Structure 1
Amino acid sequence: MKKYFKTSGLAVLAAAAFLTACDPEIDAPEISKGDADFTRYVAIGNSLTAGFGDGGLYRESQLNSFPNILAGQFKLAGGGEFTQPLFSEDQKNGSGYLKLTGFTAGGSPIITRIPADAERPNTPALPGGKALTKYTDPVNNLGVPGMSVKGSATPLFGAINPYFERLLEPNEVGTKSYQQVIGESNPTFFTCWLGNIDVLTYATSGGVASPANPFSGITDQPTFNAVYNSMITNLVKNGAKGVVATIPNVTLIPFFTTVTVPLVRAAANNAPLYITTDTGVREADSNDLILLTTQAAIGRPDNVGGNTIPHGFHPANALTDAEVLDKAEVGEIKDATIAFNNIIISAANANNLAIFDVNAFFQSIQPVDGKAVLVVNTVNYTPAFISGNLFSLDGVHLTPRGYALVANEFIKVINTKYNAKIPTVNVNAYNAVLFP
């Protein structure tokens, strides 16, 4: 028996050696930069570029930003280092963020705010929020939460927005615009996803613009056109190539689609729901969009003229204008989005740049008859709140999986436009909303 096993073992080894020698060589997928130069990749944009998610900017969200994912793939084709204004490990909570900590007996999510730990002590708050830890070294990810096309041309924005203020030297705050920062960035390749804040701020405020905030309304088209084209001119002035992204229809995100008029009415035994619009109080219909943040206020027992009236269910205590995006305001936003996207596409074509039509992409992944149309390795992706894998707990920004999906779409248009062969990433390897 001993001799048998010895001989058998040698036979197996010999057979293995023979089979190995006969195996055909499997070539690794070819990786190529094509006509692009990723030596200095710079990302231009707002919160979606910065990696904002779950209602905040924090270290983990920054590490999962789509530009950081892209930069990792670009390195495979000779791309250079990519620096982000990361919060330190000691201040990893950044500006604070939302976390899913459980569910009520009725199945509603319990969402808890994790406090910020990157706020500068003994520093007055800016109009846009508390001052955050400074990061004034050169960076490649220039994503600034809250940055609009209109705001990018305004030096004062640095004295208003804490995320932009933290990137500026003290003497530059209020004197240096985002456009100037872009002009100094000198990329060899760039992505530019800017413009949705020019409608989103108005939308998430229920279509209410504040007279005290010049950036709270929908940006006028001449301003958007002039500033956006100036920005693209700055980016390509030294021969850089890049990708511009269009603005998605913001009314399709969970912030506006989770708490619907039919669902609210059904939960209240089909009682009529009343909303306040520019023209007065009326009954809501399915074309009016209730903000996600309004949910807790619906049905609240308010004292109105000595009577207790549930909020939203009587004309005398209708949902306020700021709590609902009525159908007229939805129309304004859709019209502005179309106009802005035409400007973006025209600027890209004029400069021979690649275009990632984010608006068309998000339109294409809307569920059909309640079923997901985007399925990646058996995992469904939809715009549904929490369960859809795409959107984070604020209902506006993406999960790491959502950002990875966006990164892959950028890669696809880069490969097509610039004859490159950049591999995509496994989106399912990234986190969606984490359950407790």
Structure 2
Amino acid sequence: MKKYIYKASVLALFAGVLFTSCEPEINYDVNPSAGAELDFSNYVAIGNSLTAGYQDGGLYREAQLNSYPAILAQQFEEVGGGEFVQPLFTEAQRNGSGYLRLAGLPTPTSPVLEPVTTELAVRRDVQPLPGGPRLTKYTDPVNNLAVPGISVLSAATPIYGGVNPYFERLLTDAEVGQKSYAQKVAEAQPTFFTMWLGNNDILTYATNGAVADPTNPFSDKTPVATFKAVYTQMMAALTKGGTVEGVVANIPDVTSVPFFNTVTLAAIRQGDNVPDDAVIYIKVGPAPTDVRPLTENDRVLLTTRANIGRPDQVQTPNGPVTIPHGFHPANPLADNEVLDAEEVVEVQNHTKLLNQAIAEVAAANNIPVFDVNAFFTSIKGGFKIDEVNYTTSFISGNLFSLDGVHLTPRGYAIIANEFVRVINSHYKASVPTVNVTNYRTVVFP
């Protein structure tokens, strides 16, 4: 099986989350109660890859079984919750889309990863979609409607079913390209819902170094007005005029996940055969002279690490010359390989505007908001649960999976507990939390 240093070109399709020193309140011993308002008999989860349980650069059966909605549904069962159906891959196809496993860790920032390529749910009998190979269909009604890669913007257009294989697998052949995700959500008829949607309306742009792909209409920052209009439509479909309760989550500061904070200038200089005072150059504009040295305020993408120092043929007035990638102004790291300091501010500011829209729509429908952005900012620097330390460090921090964006099962359990906290506070319920130490972190070889 082929081994390689981490690189995942499709990662920008999928959503992310920030774990950024307080200790979250955990209470395992409560008298379970749904309170006077809540009916969990048909709980439906709306969202993207985070809601699906995506981790390690893929979606697979174990990841689905440890999604935060599955954990929530387990807790809801104690207060009258009904069956929770997920579009699970079968045991025979347990590895789903394929994912990455840790094969070695020569340094903390340069894991050796292997792609898992057996027992997949990838279809070979049809042509792939623009977003990747098609997956085994699951068209029965489900409670976890999460679609990795989806944004609020793409949720509004029927064409997305013919683009994203994770959405296509939930549609009949007749519905592909004809039914939007927003329409699919409107058919769900929940008695209670969670919706964590919107990360990809800024994350996809950020994970491509703040460069929009002209071939992908969903790769730029979603305009705030468009975002709010679609979000309003989806909220109305879920709440049914105020008769259905739920909770929504907002968008974290995506620039603080390990994907953007592992390949630092100091980490590059610690590499083999790299001088301690080495200068790394980055492209910051379209002109040939728009090049400057990398600083600690710039964020080299995790997927860029394998490219640094690559011997490239560069054309000069004296002919082609081999120059290590990133180590000379004539061969800088490309714009889409780095989120520079100004782009970090741009992404953060747009996130604030999208979160304001979420807050306004939620308030208009009297739906509480799990403020993910504020929660993870409050635990910046690390925290501890049951004497276990958690940080934002790549792999060793216990929170993030091998793609540097999505969570470990333990991380998803922590998220589920925070959803419970918001539900209990707003609705005066007593849904029990889960013991997060029952869920694993990164699997080491």
Fold match, TM over 0.5? yes
Is 1:275–1:284's contact at 8 Å kept on the other side of the alignment? yes
Q: Corresponding residue for 1:16?
A: none
Which of 273, 281, 293 lines up with 2:303 in the alignment? 293
Which of 76, 79, 86 lines up with 2:78 in the alignment? 76
Q: Corresponding residue for 2:426?
A: 417
Q: Corresponding residue for 1:348?
A: 362
Is 1:60–1:92's contact at 8 Å kept on the other side of the alignment? yes
Distance of aligned partners of 1:266 and 1:154 in 2 relative to their CA distance in 1, 3 Å threshold = same
Q: What is the CA distance between 1:364 and its match in structure 2?
A: 1.6
Which of 259, 262, 266 lines up with 2:263 in the alignment? 259
Q: Distance in 2 between matches of 1:253 and 1:146?
A: 17
Which of 324, 327, 347 lines up with 2:341 in the alignment? 327
Q: Corresponding residue for 2:172?
A: 169
Q: What is the CA distance between 1:284 and its match in structure 2?
A: 1.5
Q: Which amino acid is the alignment partner of residue 98 of structure 2?
A: G
1:276-330 deviation per Cα after TM superposition (whole angstroms, max 9, x unaligned):
1225211111111000011111112222233221110100010011111112221
Is 2:161–2:180's contact at 8 Å kept on the other side of the alignment? yes
Please list, as runs of the form range in 1=range in 2, the aligned pairs for 1:138-217 lying within 5 A after superposition: 138-217=141-220
Q: Distance in 1 between matches of 2:294 and 2:30?
A: 55
How many residues matched?
404
Q: Which amino acid is the alignment partner of residue 115 of structure 1?
A: T
Bigger helix fraction:
1
Q: Corresponding residue for 1:282?
A: 292
More divergent stretch after superposition (410-419 vs 270-279): 270-279
Q: Which amino acid is the alignment partner of residue 336 of structure 2?
A: A
Q: Distance in 2 between matches of 1:211 and 1:102?
A: 37
Q: Distance in 2 between matches of 1:82 and 1:204?
A: 32
CA RMSD of aligned residues (A): 1.3
Q: What is the CA distance between 1:105 and its match in structure 2?
A: 7.7
Q: Distance in 2 between matches of 1:111 and 1:171?
A: 39
1:205-246 deviation per Cα after TM superposition (whole angstroms, max 9, x unaligned):
111111111001110111101001111111101611000001
Q: Distance in 2 between matches of 1:108 and 1:52?
A: 22
Q: Which amino acid is the alignment partner of residue 31 of structure 2?
A: E
Q: Corresponding residue for 1:33?
A: 34
1:2-23 deviation per Cα after TM superposition (whole angstroms, max 9, x unaligned):
xxxxxxxxxxxxxxxxxxxxxx
Q: Corresponding residue for 1:15?
A: none
1:152-185 deviation per Cα after TM superposition (whole angstroms, max 9, x unaligned):
0010000000000000011000000000011111
Is 1:265–1:273's contact at 8 Å kept on the other side of the alignment? no
Q: Does 1:379 align with 2:393?
A: no
Q: Distance in 2 between matches of 1:366 and 1:311?
A: 33
Q: Distance in 1 between matches of 2:197 and 2:107?
A: 41
Is 2:109–2:263's contact at 8 Å kept on the other side of the alignment? no
Q: Which amino acid is the alignment partner of residue 75 of structure 1?
A: E
Q: Which amino acid is the alignment partner of residue 45 of structure 1?
A: G
Is 1:38–1:188's contact at 8 Å kept on the other side of the alignment? yes
TM-score by length of 2: 0.89
Q: What is the CA distance between 1:104 and its match in structure 2?
A: 2.9
Secondary structure in structure 1 of the residue aligned to 2:330: helix
Which of 277, 280, 293 lines up with 1:273 in the alignment? 280
Q: Does 1:246 align with 2:244?
A: no
Is 1:355–1:413's contact at 8 Å kept on the other side of the alignment? yes
Secondary structure in structure 2 of the residue aligned to 1:431: coil
Q: What is the CA distance between 1:263 and its match in structure 2?
A: 2.6
Q: Corresponding residue for 2:5?
A: none
Q: Percent identity?
A: 59
Q: Distance in 1 between matches of 2:233 and 2:73?
A: 25
Which of 384, 403, 420 lines up with 2:412 in the alignment? 403
Is 2:108–2:394's contact at 8 Å kept on the other side of the alignment? no
Q: What is the CA distance between 1:266 and its match in structure 2?
A: 5.2
Q: What is the CA distance between 1:107 and its match in structure 2?
A: 8.2
Q: Which amino acid is the alignment partner of residue 293 of structure 2?
A: E
Q: Which amino acid is the alignment partner of residue 143 of structure 1?
A: A
1:249-278 deviation per Cα after TM superposition (whole angstroms, max 9, x unaligned):
100000000011233245432111100122
Q: Distance in 2 between matches of 1:213 and 1:103?
A: 35
Is 2:258–2:392's contact at 8 Å kept on the other side of the alignment? yes
More divergent stretch after superposition (183-192 vs 271-280): 271-280
Q: Corresponding residue for 2:17?
A: none
Q: Distance in 1 between matches of 2:84 and 2:372?
A: 24
Q: Corresponding residue for 2:46?
A: 44
1:348-404 deviation per Cα after TM superposition (whole angstroms, max 9, x unaligned):
11111121000111112221xxxx3x1001101111100011100000000000000
More divergent stretch after superposition (183-192 vs 301-310): 301-310
Q: Distance in 1 between matches of 2:110 and 2:263?
A: 12
Q: Distance in 1 between matches of 2:49 and 2:114?
A: 21
1:39-72 deviation per Cα after TM superposition (whole angstroms, max 9, x unaligned):
1100000000011000000000000000000000
Distance of aligned partners of 1:106 and 1:161 in 2 relative to their CA distance in 1, 3 Å threshold = closer
Secondary structure in structure 2 of the residue aligned to 1:80: coil
TM-score by length of 1: 0.90
Q: What is the CA distance between 1:82 and its match in structure 2?
A: 0.3
Secondary structure in structure 2 of the residue aligned to 1:182: helix
Unpaired stretches in structure 1, ≥5 consecutive residues: 1-27
Q: Corresponding residue for 2:92?
A: 90
